[in-house]
Structure 1
């Protein structure tokens, strides 16, 4: 139960801070209005860092169905736990998105552009071309999950206390504490800056679907469509990318 709670809390934090930076940059009359893509990319990277930092000990901080399924496909996570993790991630994403709406309530009211409001919640393509939109999500998620699967903990070596020769070494993995969450945040920053300009780099089905559902359900004035015709792209693309990453790791491992 603690692991599922960790996934719920972690994904809620992810969307609260990630959706929050989108609101700050996009909505009218905010302190950060118009501050641009660098701020959005950095904000999402820090959202991932905070979420992983806070719940890593509780659940492993997948906070992403693509990561959960990629780990399971690579035999590094139990398939029996996958449905519970995915449910917790989706619920957390919906709650995080709802809190963003409350935090920026007046700014949503001041916004008269439905597409801008939706952009706080969900991703969308710069150029709508479904095959290439899916490809963009596949590539970004492939990089994310491959790096997660191949990540190595730092280690140190010293002479064995039971050995009479200096050549025999003991290797011990060393944790980084809170800094252990930093590499994945930097990874997401790199993906956002390099690959995010085409679709907004969902690279996480819960990150898009949960807030999109929240957008559809919340009483946001003049919110317009939730663009369900596009919603399958940030689900299918990340899942394909995650499975491809798992296949590559199995081949090289």
Structure 2
């Protein structure tokens, strides 16, 4: 028999929202007894992985869906603000779905930053990233098949990456033609820097300015603000899973190898640049504000009970 304590948790863990897993459950009196076989045991063992998958699925579904509606209606049913809100609210809702179980990372940059600066277990990093990427891939598939008639109406049978009838940009990000890859790298890193800076502040017990229930919405609005302020040049991926999963899907449904080779093989930048931006945010925040003992920058601090 396996026992899961605190599985029915009405308040959520203290680290809710883009931080770390709820190791050990909570002090809830609810106890669920699970047999060591069958689907319930699988769900019990891999609940954080399923949560990352489902949370990223929600994020990308709403975000990519908002782009699809804007592009395919030729701006009649959407614009840059609705896209920013689509991704921002999608992120907030994705954290609502997953935060109490997995921490609601939904982004490899968040997972890696938390591993470096908040002692998130490194063994879970590749598992989380895989779940996030699969969630984004499935979300792209759902949006594609939902809008396939509109895509055909917009572009006919053409599945192109560039040109007047291009629709690949609905799913993955492509920089403006005037952007160099170096400039695009900086833009993606900068946007992710701000996203992680706010996440680290919100999940800092000494500095959290909002109640935990407000955290998902605050993080989502942060993404929307980044889109409005810094999204024009690259499409504000800020998330390797959000970009690579849908990009891989477009390759399989007929957009071809150009989804990877376009703009001097730009595809790697939305994967690497957000990680760099997140790590810089962790370095800056922990150097200037964070006092907790989880950060390697504070390993020499002595913590005493008051």
* TM-score (normalizing by structure 2): 0.70
* Partner of residue 235 from structure 2, selected from 182, 192, 200: 200
Greater Cα shift, 181-190 or 120-129: 120-129
Q: CA RMSD in A?
A: 2.2
Q: Is the Cα–Cα contact under 8 Å of residues 154 and 175 in structure 1 kept in the other structure?
A: no
Match of 2:196 in 1: 145
The answer to whether residue 146 in structure 2 is matched with residue 103 in structure 1 is yes
Structure with the larger RCO, 1 or 2 (CA within 8 Å, 6+ apart): 1
Give how far 1:230 is off. 1.1
Give how far 1:147 is off. 1.3
Distance (whole Å) between structure 1 residues aligned to residue 179 and residue 204 of structure 2: 40
Q: In structure 2, do the counterparts of structure 1 residues 56 and 152 end up closer, same or farther at CA, with 3 Å as the change threshold?
A: closer
Equivalent positions of 1:38-187 (< 5 A) are: 38-112=81-155, 114=160, 115=162, 116-126=166-176, 127-152=178-203, 175-177=211-213, 179-187=214-222
* TM-score (normalizing by structure 1): 0.85
Gaps in structure 1 of 5+ consecutive residues: 156-172
> Per-residue CA shift, 1:179-218, capped at 9, x if unaligned?
3311001100110000101101100011110000000012
How many correspondences in the alignment? 231
Give how far 1:28 is off. 4.2
Distance (whole Å) between structure 1 residues aligned to residue 212 and residue 194 of structure 2: 23
Match of 2:224 in 1: 189
Q: Is the Cα–Cα contact under 8 Å of residues 94 and 213 in structure 1 kept in the other structure?
A: yes
Gaps in structure 2 of 5+ consecutive residues: 1-45, 291-306
Give how far 1:34 is off. 5.8
Match of 1:238 in 2: 274
